[in-house]
Amino acid sequence: MKAVAPGKLILSGEHAVVYGKPAIAMAIDRSAVFELTPRDDDRISFDLPGVSDAEPFTLLALRDFKRRVERKYHEFQKGEIGIGYVLAAPVDLFRFAFINTLDGLHRTLDSGLVMKLRSSIPVGCGMGSSAATVLSEIRAMGHFLRVDFKPDWYYEYSQEAEKLQHGKPSGVDSYISLHGGCVRFQNGAAAPMSLPRAKMYMVQTGVPETTTGECVMEVERGFQNSAIWSEFEGVTNAFEDAIRTNNQQKIHWLVRENNRLLTAIGVVPATVRRFIAEIEAWGGSAKICGAGSIAGEKGGVVLVFAAEQPTALCAKYGYEVSPVRGDPLGTRIV
């Protein structure tokens, strides 16, 4: 069984969505694929990119692991540990999602499984990699177990795993990867929008030194009760209208405003700020598309709106750039 789930970019409203303000998110043509194949024994193994000689697990060991992770998450909720200490290794996210879904569905297995992941979504760069990989895993499991999943179930199970990675996920990553297309997302509810017709380019500035969860917690400490979230809301509302009317000039202005606000809350590294300033001087507009970073000089993905690809400018900074388009389909079996 093979399932695919797209990554995402937030066009407007990063961080503000955590405080109940709207965000506009778009599924993109970068995806995670999970493939399930039976094993001859009763163990579960996870074949992940860059991980060799992965140890297989018994269901008993996975259930014991789940209990330990849930204890750590409770410690995080009480402020005793940071979110980065809840999961110790990349495989832990998929171990938890697997056993949590299997037990939640009250299903049994007739054999062991090999869970093979392949992904074109950069990890840790604000593109919803964890949500997409978990959703592709759960979707493949549902098909393998012949479960008539409801979309709400996929969303809930993926959120259970996402909270271990990000602490207090807004839900937008899981929703947009599950359903595809472009939506206005607020307080767990989504309203479909048309995909933008503007030309967009994805610039990879490097994996941030801080995680999404760490950025969210740091921003909360400094801006939890700030009026800046109302400014974010105003920009997002105007952005929705600009996409609907395909007002290119207004889109550029609003992207610049969004970048100004993200800079104000301290999640745009200095080098990335200089790059974005040069993009604006060149005639385009740009902004980070994930949590950004509160340390170092790498900010994850920067989304550029421009008439042509900024190849020379990206080469100057050593950044990779490529066109990006929307994915209308969401999570599915392939």
Residue 50 and residue 120 share a domain: yes
Residue 179 and residue 32 share a domain: yes
Encoded tokens for 223: 């801006």
Angle in degrees, CA 158, 331, 163, rounded to 5? 15
Residue 266 and residue 295 share a domain: yes
pLDDT confidence bin for 170, thresholds 50/70/90: confident
Instruction: Say how many C-beta atoms besides its own lie within 10 A of residue 152's C-beta.
Output: 9
Residue 167 and residue 200 share a domain: no
CB 27, CB 180: distance < 8 Å? yes
Q: What mean pLDDT comes out for the span 185-204?
A: 91
Q: Which residues is 153 bridged to in the sheet?
A: none
Q: What is the pLDDT of residue 53?
A: 64
Cα distance between residue 173 and residue 271, in whole Å: 26
pLDDT at 127 over 70: yes
What's the CATH code of the domain at 141? Answer: 3.30.230.10
Q: Is 203 helix (H, G, I), strand (E, B) or coil?
A: strand
- Distances from the Cα of 69 to the Cα of 74, 328, 334, angstroms: 9, 34, 32
Cα distance between residue 220 and residue 204, in whole Å: 26
pLDDT confidence bin for 165, thresholds 50/70/90: confident
Q: What mean pLDDT comes out for the span 140-144?
A: 92
Residue 122 and residue 67 share a domain: yes
| Percentage of the residues of the chain whose pLDDT score is greater than 90 | 76
What's the CATH code of the domain at 293? Answer: 3.30.70.890
Encoded tokens for 59: 């269901």
What total number of domains does the chain contain? 2
pLDDT confidence bin for 201, thresholds 50/70/90: very high
Q: What is the pLDDT of residue 128?
A: 86
pLDDT at 191 over 90: yes
Report the range of poorest mean pLDDT among 7-11, 124-128, 181-185, 302-306.
124-128
Residue 10 and residue 111 share a domain: yes
Residue 182 and residue 208 share a domain: no
Residue 224 and residue 183 share a domain: no
Q: What is the pLDDT of residue 330?
A: 93
Residue 182 and residue 64 share a domain: yes
DSSP letter at 307 equals S
Residue 114 and residue 217 share a domain: no
Q: Is 314 helix (H, G, I), strand (E, B) or coil?
A: helix
Residue-wise pLDDT tens digits, 43-75: 999 998 877 667 899 999 999 999 999 999 999
Angle in degrees, CA 158, 162, 168, rounded to 5? 130
Give the containing element (helix H, strand E) for 61. Answer: helix 59-77
Structural domain harbouring 182: 2-192+328-333
Residue 203 and residue 57 share a domain: no
Residue 104 and residue 64 share a domain: yes
Q: Is 327 helix (H, G, I), strand (E, B) or coil?
A: coil
